[in-house]
């Protein structure tokens, strides 16, 4: 049993990491637009929510111009340390070269640098919410301003490993806060951010014994239906004033798919699947909340697609030389970023953003030399 679990976990986590090595830098573009909307809301809502603190909402709703508490639910695109360190093989986000760019050492983020939680918090002008797992070491004041429950590998539904799915993360949020008196109904718990990056679909594809994208696509209605339930809970049970939900990036442009194509192209079927999920999500949101009063879509697809296309708005200087190649890549086809051999030698090459020359005045293409070992 232990072995089976171990293997399943390893498989699931391998999938997670493969889909999360993409640079997340461009996400902040999308985050900014939504943050703008949230900031406006904060200003307009300031007066009406004043005196809200201590109402039992378990929030900071202290009135005036104070920023809202931010509660994050989701997967590795948002995780800032909730998936514990189980060793280099299983949880490589705690090992080199993860975290090299930010915060400067491996710290449980599935990125060389910032993840979506950092970008959104920064765009909203608030500190990055504390990871649930790291809450005991955090300053009291910070914990009151929100928390991050997102954990790498999680899905809307179960993904075959042991991560809390979105519903269970919301349960945890509910269990964390002080019980609220019945009179506190309608109180303001803050802003929820829900980050769903496709683990449900990787799981459905794996279960079907291959990278069967069709099995994943068949799963879309079930995933979106459950996502809708959880979004409603955040508004109606948890009392979130705003609920921000991400759509899917073009999944067929992630290394999981582009590697097999030598990084020359994206997988059209996987991209069609992401588009279908996004259309279903958008129609759910439109039906629930046509005026966008509570539910806001954070569009990750558009900036990601622009990045990997290498065309779109980017000038020649802003383009990556090979936009579909990950910044960290193992030497062998079945290896992974961060892999070492038995004597600790790196089995991967990485090109971190800090070492990539960008924006040179000439039109020469971006230099992407492997960093020295
Ligand atoms: C899954 O793959 C394994 C080996 O690759 C094979 O033995 C098995 O029959 C396959 N199962 C299905 C349902 O296709
Ligand atoms: C993959 O692309 C590289 C250049 O980026 C090229 O040198 C190599 O031959 C290509 N491999 C295959 C299998 O097409
Ligand atoms: C609500 O947001 C969607 C994007 O999710 C947008 O297409 C729509 O126009 C917005 N509606 C209003 C009334 O602003």
Average pLDDT of 117-134?
Answer: 96
Has residue 167 been placed in a domain?
yes
Q: How far apart are CA 25 and CA 305, in angstroms?
A: 13
Probe residue for ligand 3, chosen from 292, 295, 296, 300 as the CB with the greatest number of ligand atoms within 8 Å: 292
352 domain residue, yes or no: no
Q: Whose CA is nearest to atom 1 of ligand 3?
A: 292
Ligand located closest to 265 CA: 2
Q: What is the pLDDT of residues 296-336, one digit of tens each?
A: 999 999 999 988 876 655 566 666 778 888 889 999 888 88
Domain span at residue 83 reads 2-340
pLDDT tens digits for 301-311?
Answer: 999 998 887 66
- Distance from Cα 271 to the centre of ligand 2, integer Å: 23
Does pLDDT of 144 surpass 90? no
Decide if pLDDT at 30 tops 50.
no
CA of 214 to the centre of ligand 2 (A): 28
Ligand 3 atom closest to residue 282's alpha carbon, by position in its atom list:
5
User: What pLDDT does residue 184 have?
Assistant: 52
Q: Residue 299 CA: which ligand 3 atom is closest?
A: 5
Could you tell me which of 79, 51, 82 has the C-alpha nearest to residue 64? Answer: 51
98 in a structural domain: yes
pLDDT: is 52 or 150 the higher one? 150
What pLDDT is stored for residue 67 in this prediction?
Answer: 84
Residue 223 lies in a domain: yes
Predicted local confidence at residue 344, as pLDDT: 92
Look at residue 254 and tell me whether its pLDDT is greater than 60: yes
Per DSSP bridges, beta strands 328-330 and 348-350 are antiparallel
**Bigger pLDDT: 206 vs 290:** 290
Residue 346 domain flag: no
pLDDT band at 358 (very low <50, low <70, confident <90, very high): very low
Q: Which residues line ligand 3 (CB under 6 A)?
A: 282, 285, 291-292, 297
Average pLDDT over residues 110-117: 96
Return the ligand number nearest the Cα of 207.
Answer: 1
Note the pLDDT of residue 206: 87
Model confidence at 162, in pLDDT bands (50, 70, 90)? confident
pTM of the model: 0.81
Q: Which ligand is nearest to the CA of 261?
A: 2
277, 286, 291, 300: which to mutate for ligand 3, most atoms within 8 A of CB?
A: 286
pLDDT at 180 over 70: no
Between residues 52 and 146, the one the model is more confident about: 146
Q: How far, in Å, from the CA of 258 to the mean position of ligand 3?
A: 32
For ligand 2, the distance from its centroid to the CA atom of residue 201, given in whole angstroms, is 29
Evaluate whether residue 102 is within a structural domain.
yes
Distance in Å, CA 209 to ligand 1 centroid: 6
Partnered with residue 295 across adjacent β-strands are 243
Residue 357 lies in a domain: no
Residue 99 is encoded by which pair of tokens? 């975290």
State percent of the chain over pLDDT 90: 57
Q: Give residue 27's pLDDT.
A: 41
pLDDT at position 70, please?
A: 97
| Per-residue pLDDT at 183 | 53
Q: How many helices (H) and strands (E) does the chain have?
A: 11, 8
Q: In this structure, what CATH number is given to the domain that contains residue 259?
A: 3.40.50
Q: Is the pLDDT of residue 74 over 60?
A: yes
C-beta of residue 110 within 8 angstroms of C-beta of residue 20: yes
What's the maximum distance between 2 C-alpha atoms anywhere in the chain?
65
In a domain, 373, yes or no: no
Q: Does 41 have pLDDT greater than 70?
A: no
Residue 182 Cα to ligand 2 midpoint, Å, equals 64
When pLDDT is averaged across residues 202-224 and rounded to a whole number, the result is: 88
From the CA of 208, the nearest ligand is: 1
Total number of domains constituting the chain? 1
Spatial distance between the Cα atoms of 223 and 204, rounded to a whole number of angstroms: 11
CA 5–ligand 3 middle distance (angstroms): 43
């Amino acid at each position: 049993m232990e072995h089976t679990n171990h293997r399943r976990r390893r498989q699931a986590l391998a999938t997670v990491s493969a889909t999360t090595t993409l640079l997340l830098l461009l996400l902040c573009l999308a985050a900014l637009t939504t943050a703008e909307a949230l900031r406006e809301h904060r200003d307009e809502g300031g007066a009406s929510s004043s005196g809200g603190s201590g109402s039992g909402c378990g929030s900071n709703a202290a009135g005036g111009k104070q920023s809202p508490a931010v509660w994050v639910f989701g997967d590795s695109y948002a995780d800032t340390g909730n998936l514990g360190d189980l060793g280099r093989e299983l949880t490589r986000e705690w090992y080199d070269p993860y975290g090299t760019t930010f915060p400067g050492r491996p710290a449980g983020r599935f990125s060389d640098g910032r993840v979506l939680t950092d970008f959104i918090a920064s765009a909203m002008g608030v500190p990055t919410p504390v990871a649930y797992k790291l809450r005991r070491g955090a300053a009291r004041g910070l914990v009151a301003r929100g928390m991050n429950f997102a954990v790498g590998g999680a899905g809307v539904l179960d993904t075959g490993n042991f991560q809390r799915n979105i519903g269970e993360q919301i349960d945890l949020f509910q269990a964390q806060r002080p019980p609220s008196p019945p009179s506190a109904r309608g109180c303001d718990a803050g802003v929820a951010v829900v980050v769903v990056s496709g683990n449900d679909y990787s799981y459905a594809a794996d279960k079907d014994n291959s990278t069967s994208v069709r099995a994943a696509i068949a799963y879309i209605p079930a995933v979106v239906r459950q996502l809708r339930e959880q979004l409603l809970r955040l508004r109606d049970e948890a009392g979130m004033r705003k609920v921000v939900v991400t759509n899917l990036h073009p999944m067929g442009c992630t290394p999981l798919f582009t590697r097999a194509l030598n990084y020359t192209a994206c997988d059209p079927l996987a991209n069609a699947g992401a588009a279908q999920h996004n259309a279903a999500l958008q129609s759910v949101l439109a039906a629930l909340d046509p005026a966008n009063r509570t539910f806001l879509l954070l569009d990750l697809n558009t900036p990601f697609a622009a990045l990997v296309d290498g065309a779109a708005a980017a000038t020649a200087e802003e383009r990556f030389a090979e936009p579909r190649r990950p910044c960290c890549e193992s030497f062998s086809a079945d290896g992974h970023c961060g892999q070492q051999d038995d004597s600790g030698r790196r089995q991967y090459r990485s090109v971190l953003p800090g070492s990539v020359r960008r924006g040179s005045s000439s039109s020469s293409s971006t230099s992407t030399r492997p960093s020295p070992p």
